[in-house]
Amino acid sequence: MTKWLALSAVIVALDQATKFVVTQRFTLGSVVEVTPFLNLVLVYNPGAAFSFLSDGGGWQRGLFIAIAVIASVWIVYLLRRYSHQRLFALALALVLAGALGNLIDRILIGAVIDFVDVHAFGFHWPAFNVADSAITCGAVLLVWDALRPRKTQIPGPQINADKRR
């Protein structure tokens, strides 16, 4: 389990480091074009994914903090129990890192810092960050893990070939 928690810690550190750099170098609303489809921006999102409940007036902060704490505790429990299942544990470690990275923002500043702006043909994907990317990748891996075929054992007693004679 230690290696999965270490991976989560590295991703949280990367998430917080990138957010620190962005908040030090950008002003709210400034845009830096990196490629024709990618900008760097500084956005504070008090809501959840896709700015869900961002106009909630502040009550949502406690709700999102509680959800992140409960989810993190549950994920650590699952990691302890299933750390030997590599793909499942990797997915959980990524989701845990994302939840903790955004939880830190919510506790310290009351909103999540987003800065990656992907766009094409005049349409902009909602801004996101390293933590959001980790959650998304983890969720995709969880679905992949759930859908992939498993080796099944035939139920019933196993008979040793030597004992059949």
Which active-site residues does the annotation give?
114, 132
The amino acid sitting at 13 is: A
Contact 69, 152 (CB under 8 A): no
Contact 145, 139 (CB under 8 A): no
Residues facing 128 on adjacent strands: 116
CA angle 153/156/160 to nearest 5° reads: 90
Output the CA–CA distances (angstroms, integers) from residue 8 to 26, 43, 135, in the order listed.
27, 24, 11
Backbone angles phi, psi at 63, to 5 degrees: -65, -50
Contact 93, 80 (CB under 8 A): no
